[in-house]
Structure 1
Amino acid sequence: MSAILKLEELGMLLLSALLLWNSDAAWFWYLLLLLGPDVSMLGYLINNNVGAFMYNLFHHKGVAVVIFIGGVYFNNIWMQQIGMVLFGHASLDRLFGYGLKYRKGFAFTHLGIIGKNKLRENESE
Protein backbone atom coordinates (compact mmCIF):
# COMPACT_ATOMS: atom_id res chain seq x y z
CA MET A 1 0.00 0.00 0.00
CA SER A 2 1.36 3.39 -0.90
CA ALA A 3 2.43 5.91 1.71
CA ILE A 4 -0.34 8.33 0.77
CA LEU A 5 -3.00 5.67 1.39
CA LYS A 6 -1.40 4.79 4.72
CA LEU A 7 -1.52 8.46 5.70
CA GLU A 8 -5.18 8.56 4.74
CA GLU A 9 -5.93 5.52 6.92
CA LEU A 10 -3.93 7.04 9.78
CA GLY A 11 -6.00 10.21 9.45
CA MET A 12 -9.25 8.21 9.66
CA LEU A 13 -7.93 6.30 12.69
CA LEU A 14 -7.02 9.55 14.43
CA LEU A 15 -10.42 11.02 13.51
CA SER A 16 -12.22 8.11 15.17
CA ALA A 17 -10.03 8.44 18.29
CA LEU A 18 -10.74 12.18 18.39
CA LEU A 19 -14.48 11.55 18.03
CA LEU A 20 -14.32 9.02 20.87
CA TRP A 21 -12.44 11.50 23.03
CA ASN A 22 -14.92 14.26 22.14
CA SER A 23 -17.82 11.99 23.15
CA ASP A 24 -16.26 11.50 26.61
CA ALA A 25 -15.85 7.80 25.92
CA ALA A 26 -14.79 5.53 28.76
CA TRP A 27 -11.28 4.04 28.58
CA PHE A 28 -12.54 0.63 27.43
CA TRP A 29 -13.71 2.11 24.10
CA TYR A 30 -10.06 2.72 23.19
CA LEU A 31 -9.20 -0.90 23.99
CA LEU A 32 -12.10 -1.96 21.77
CA LEU A 33 -10.75 0.35 19.07
CA LEU A 34 -7.52 -1.65 19.03
CA LEU A 35 -8.80 -5.19 19.52
CA GLY A 36 -12.58 -5.52 19.67
CA PRO A 37 -13.62 -6.16 16.06
CA ASP A 38 -10.95 -8.86 15.69
CA VAL A 39 -13.23 -11.23 17.62
CA SER A 40 -14.90 -11.65 14.22
CA MET A 41 -11.94 -13.80 13.14
CA LEU A 42 -13.44 -16.62 15.21
CA GLY A 43 -15.72 -17.23 12.24
CA TYR A 44 -12.75 -18.84 10.53
CA LEU A 45 -13.02 -21.67 13.07
CA ILE A 46 -16.24 -22.66 11.26
CA ASN A 47 -15.04 -22.22 7.67
CA ASN A 48 -13.66 -19.62 5.24
CA ASN A 49 -17.11 -18.44 4.11
CA VAL A 50 -18.32 -17.69 7.63
CA GLY A 51 -14.94 -16.25 8.58
CA ALA A 52 -14.83 -13.87 5.62
CA PHE A 53 -18.44 -12.79 6.16
CA MET A 54 -17.94 -12.09 9.89
CA TYR A 55 -14.60 -10.38 9.39
CA ASN A 56 -15.95 -8.16 6.60
CA LEU A 57 -19.08 -7.29 8.61
CA PHE A 58 -16.95 -6.04 11.51
CA HIS A 59 -14.34 -4.33 9.30
CA HIS A 60 -16.44 -2.65 6.62
CA LYS A 61 -16.34 1.13 6.95
CA GLY A 62 -19.78 1.44 5.36
CA VAL A 63 -21.30 -0.68 8.14
CA ALA A 64 -19.50 1.48 10.70
CA VAL A 65 -20.86 4.68 9.16
CA VAL A 66 -24.43 3.30 9.07
CA ILE A 67 -24.20 2.36 12.76
CA PHE A 68 -22.79 5.79 13.63
CA ILE A 69 -25.49 7.63 11.66
CA GLY A 70 -28.12 5.41 13.28
CA GLY A 71 -26.73 6.49 16.65
CA VAL A 72 -26.99 10.14 15.65
CA TYR A 73 -30.54 9.67 14.34
CA PHE A 74 -31.70 7.83 17.47
CA ASN A 75 -29.57 10.04 19.74
CA ASN A 76 -27.86 6.90 21.04
CA ILE A 77 -24.28 7.55 22.18
CA TRP A 78 -23.53 3.79 22.41
CA MET A 79 -24.35 3.26 18.73
CA GLN A 80 -22.26 6.31 17.85
CA GLN A 81 -19.28 5.00 19.80
CA ILE A 82 -19.64 1.51 18.31
CA GLY A 83 -19.60 3.11 14.86
CA MET A 84 -16.50 5.11 15.77
CA VAL A 85 -14.72 2.00 17.04
CA LEU A 86 -15.57 -0.08 13.98
CA PHE A 87 -14.51 2.72 11.63
CA GLY A 88 -11.26 3.40 13.48
CA HIS A 89 -10.37 -0.27 13.78
CA ALA A 90 -10.97 -0.82 10.06
CA SER A 91 -8.60 2.07 9.37
CA LEU A 92 -6.02 0.60 11.75
CA ASP A 93 -6.20 -2.74 9.99
CA ARG A 94 -5.88 -1.11 6.56
CA LEU A 95 -2.88 0.84 7.85
CA PHE A 96 -1.19 -2.49 8.61
CA GLY A 97 -2.19 -3.95 5.25
CA TYR A 98 -5.15 -6.08 6.35
CA GLY A 99 -8.03 -5.65 3.95
CA LEU A 100 -11.49 -7.09 3.58
CA LYS A 101 -11.36 -10.85 3.12
CA TYR A 102 -12.15 -13.09 0.20
CA ARG A 103 -13.75 -16.48 0.85
CA LYS A 104 -10.58 -18.18 -0.39
CA GLY A 105 -8.97 -17.74 3.05
CA PHE A 106 -7.85 -15.23 5.66
CA ALA A 107 -4.70 -14.29 3.78
CA PHE A 108 -6.58 -13.22 0.65
CA THR A 109 -7.70 -9.60 0.94
CA HIS A 110 -8.80 -6.75 -1.29
CA LEU A 111 -5.39 -5.18 -0.62
CA GLY A 112 -3.51 -8.31 -1.72
CA ILE A 113 -2.18 -11.46 -0.14
CA ILE A 114 -0.81 -11.24 3.41
CA GLY A 115 1.35 -13.47 5.58
CA LYS A 116 3.11 -16.70 4.64
CA ASN A 117 1.02 -17.14 1.49
CA LYS A 118 2.55 -13.94 0.14
CA LEU A 119 6.03 -15.27 0.84
CA ARG A 120 5.25 -18.52 -0.97
CA GLU A 121 3.84 -16.64 -3.93
CA ASN A 122 6.96 -14.47 -4.16
CA GLU A 123 9.24 -17.53 -4.00
CA SER A 124 7.47 -19.18 -6.94
CA GLU A 125 8.01 -16.16 -9.21
Structure 2
Amino acid sequence: MRARSFAGAENGIVSGWPQILLRLEGLSVLIASSVSYAWYGGSWWLFAALFFLPDLSMAGYLAGRRTGAASYNLVHWYVLPLACITWAVLAQSTSFLNVGLIWAAHIGFDRGLGYGLKYPEGFGVSHLGLMGKAKRSAKRAHRL
Protein backbone atom coordinates (compact mmCIF):
# COMPACT_ATOMS: atom_id res chain seq x y z
CA MET A 1 0.00 0.00 0.00
CA ARG A 2 1.39 3.36 -1.02
CA ALA A 3 1.58 5.98 1.73
CA ARG A 4 0.02 9.36 1.07
CA SER A 5 2.41 12.33 0.89
CA PHE A 6 1.45 15.99 1.20
CA ALA A 7 4.85 17.48 0.31
CA GLY A 8 5.25 19.57 -2.81
CA ALA A 9 3.65 22.50 -4.58
CA GLU A 10 1.41 20.17 -6.59
CA ASN A 11 -0.45 19.48 -3.33
CA GLY A 12 -0.92 23.17 -2.48
CA ILE A 13 2.08 23.36 -0.18
CA VAL A 14 4.72 25.96 -0.92
CA SER A 15 8.36 24.93 -0.71
CA GLY A 16 11.80 26.32 -1.48
CA TRP A 17 12.32 30.04 -2.02
CA PRO A 18 8.61 30.91 -2.21
CA GLN A 19 8.17 29.38 1.25
CA ILE A 20 11.10 31.40 2.62
CA LEU A 21 9.71 34.59 1.06
CA LEU A 22 6.25 33.97 2.56
CA ARG A 23 7.74 33.39 6.00
CA LEU A 24 9.80 36.61 5.69
CA GLU A 25 6.64 38.38 4.59
CA GLY A 26 4.96 37.19 7.79
CA LEU A 27 7.85 38.47 9.88
CA SER A 28 7.61 41.80 8.05
CA VAL A 29 3.91 42.06 8.95
CA LEU A 30 4.78 41.27 12.59
CA ILE A 31 7.42 44.02 12.64
CA ALA A 32 5.31 46.61 10.79
CA SER A 33 2.26 45.96 12.96
CA SER A 34 4.27 46.10 16.18
CA VAL A 35 6.07 49.29 15.16
CA SER A 36 2.74 50.89 14.17
CA TYR A 37 1.22 49.81 17.48
CA ALA A 38 4.11 51.44 19.35
CA TRP A 39 3.91 54.56 17.16
CA TYR A 40 0.24 55.04 18.05
CA GLY A 41 1.01 54.55 21.75
CA GLY A 42 -0.76 51.25 22.34
CA SER A 43 -0.53 49.59 25.75
CA TRP A 44 1.98 46.74 25.80
CA TRP A 45 -0.09 45.06 28.51
CA LEU A 46 -3.00 44.95 26.06
CA PHE A 47 -0.67 43.69 23.33
CA ALA A 48 0.52 40.85 25.58
CA ALA A 49 -3.01 40.03 26.72
CA LEU A 50 -4.48 39.82 23.19
CA PHE A 51 -1.54 38.55 21.15
CA PHE A 52 -2.36 34.83 21.40
CA LEU A 53 -6.15 35.28 21.49
CA PRO A 54 -6.53 34.23 17.80
CA ASP A 55 -5.13 30.80 18.72
CA LEU A 56 -8.38 30.06 20.55
CA SER A 57 -9.69 29.30 17.05
CA MET A 58 -7.85 25.98 17.34
CA ALA A 59 -10.72 24.87 19.60
CA GLY A 60 -12.55 24.21 16.33
CA TYR A 61 -10.44 21.05 16.03
CA LEU A 62 -12.54 19.62 18.88
CA ALA A 63 -15.37 19.38 16.32
CA GLY A 64 -13.14 17.70 13.72
CA ARG A 65 -10.34 18.45 11.31
CA ARG A 66 -12.49 20.18 8.68
CA THR A 67 -14.15 22.49 11.22
CA GLY A 68 -10.84 23.11 12.94
CA ALA A 69 -9.12 24.08 9.70
CA ALA A 70 -12.02 26.38 8.76
CA SER A 71 -12.09 28.16 12.13
CA TYR A 72 -8.29 28.48 12.25
CA ASN A 73 -8.13 29.82 8.68
CA LEU A 74 -10.92 32.34 9.23
CA VAL A 75 -9.16 33.86 12.23
CA HIS A 76 -5.68 33.64 10.64
CA TRP A 77 -6.66 35.33 7.38
CA TYR A 78 -5.15 38.80 6.94
CA VAL A 79 -8.39 40.25 5.51
CA LEU A 80 -10.18 40.40 8.88
CA PRO A 81 -7.54 42.38 10.82
CA LEU A 82 -7.12 44.64 7.77
CA ALA A 83 -10.88 45.26 7.81
CA CYS A 84 -10.61 46.03 11.53
CA ILE A 85 -7.76 48.51 10.87
CA THR A 86 -9.69 50.10 7.99
CA TRP A 87 -12.78 50.49 10.19
CA ALA A 88 -10.57 52.01 12.90
CA VAL A 89 -9.18 54.61 10.51
CA LEU A 90 -12.60 55.51 9.11
CA ALA A 91 -14.27 55.65 12.54
CA GLN A 92 -11.20 57.14 14.22
CA SER A 93 -11.28 54.35 16.79
CA THR A 94 -8.08 53.72 18.72
CA SER A 95 -9.55 50.54 20.20
CA PHE A 96 -10.24 48.95 16.81
CA LEU A 97 -6.83 50.09 15.58
CA ASN A 98 -5.10 48.42 18.53
CA VAL A 99 -7.03 45.18 18.07
CA GLY A 100 -6.38 45.11 14.30
CA LEU A 101 -2.65 45.76 14.70
CA ILE A 102 -2.27 43.11 17.42
CA TRP A 103 -4.27 40.64 15.32
CA ALA A 104 -2.14 41.29 12.22
CA ALA A 105 1.03 41.00 14.32
CA HIS A 106 -0.12 37.61 15.60
CA ILE A 107 -0.77 36.29 12.09
CA GLY A 108 2.63 37.58 10.95
CA PHE A 109 4.26 35.87 13.93
CA ASP A 110 2.59 32.56 13.09
CA ARG A 111 3.49 32.82 9.40
CA GLY A 112 7.08 33.66 10.27
CA LEU A 113 7.25 30.46 12.34
CA GLY A 114 5.81 28.47 9.45
CA TYR A 115 2.22 28.08 10.67
CA GLY A 116 0.25 28.61 7.52
CA LEU A 117 -3.38 28.26 6.57
CA LYS A 118 -4.59 24.75 7.35
CA TYR A 119 -5.84 21.93 5.16
CA PRO A 120 -8.51 19.52 6.48
CA GLU A 121 -5.99 16.65 6.50
CA GLY A 122 -4.80 17.88 9.91
CA PHE A 123 -3.32 20.75 11.89
CA GLY A 124 0.21 19.93 10.70
CA VAL A 125 -0.71 20.30 7.01
CA SER A 126 -0.58 23.95 5.93
CA HIS A 127 0.18 26.00 2.85
CA LEU A 128 3.63 26.76 4.32
CA GLY A 129 4.59 23.14 4.75
CA LEU A 130 4.22 20.18 7.03
CA MET A 131 4.72 20.27 10.77
CA GLY A 132 4.76 17.75 13.59
CA LYS A 133 3.22 14.33 12.90
CA ALA A 134 2.41 15.21 9.28
CA LYS A 135 6.07 16.02 8.59
CA ARG A 136 7.32 12.83 10.27
CA SER A 137 4.73 10.78 8.39
CA ALA A 138 5.77 12.31 5.04
CA LYS A 139 9.43 11.54 5.77
CA ARG A 140 8.59 7.91 6.54
CA ALA A 141 6.50 7.63 3.37
CA HIS A 142 9.33 9.13 1.30
CA ARG A 143 11.78 6.50 2.60
CA LEU A 144 9.47 3.64 1.51
> 1:76 & 1:53 partners in 2: Cα distance?
29
Cα root mean square deviation, aligned: 1.5
Matched, 1:105 2:112: no
2:55 is matched with which residue? 38
Asked if residue 81 in structure 1 is aligned to residue 98 in structure 2, the reply is yes
For residues 87-107 of structure 1, the C-alpha deviation after alignment (integer angstroms, 9 at most, x for no partner) is 111111111110011222211
* Residue of structure 2 in register with 1:16 after alignment: 33
Aligned AA (1:75): Q
Structure 1 segments, 4+ long, off by >4 Å, are: none
8 Å CA contact 1:56, 1:101 repeated in 2: yes
Letter in 2 for 1:78: S
The percentage of counterpart residues that share the same residue type is: 33
Instruction: Report SS of the residue matched to 1:53.
Output: helix
What is the match of residue 43 of structure 2? Answer: 26
Which consecutive unaligned segments of at least 5 residues does structure 1 have? Answer: none
Query: Which AA in structure 2 matches 1:36?
Result: L
In structure 2, the CA distance between the partners of 1:5 and 1:110, relative to structure 1 (3 Å rule), is closer
Give me the TM-score of the superposition, normalised by structure 1.
0.88
User: What is the total number of aligned residue pairs between the two structures?
Assistant: 123
Name the structure where helix makes up a greater proportion of residues: 1
Find the partner of 1:51 among 55, 68, 72: 68
The 2-side partners of 1:29 and 1:20 are apart by 11
TM-score norm. by structure 2 comes to 0.77
Q: Which has the higher contact order (CA 8 A, sep 6+)?
A: 2
Gaps of 5+ in 2: 1-18
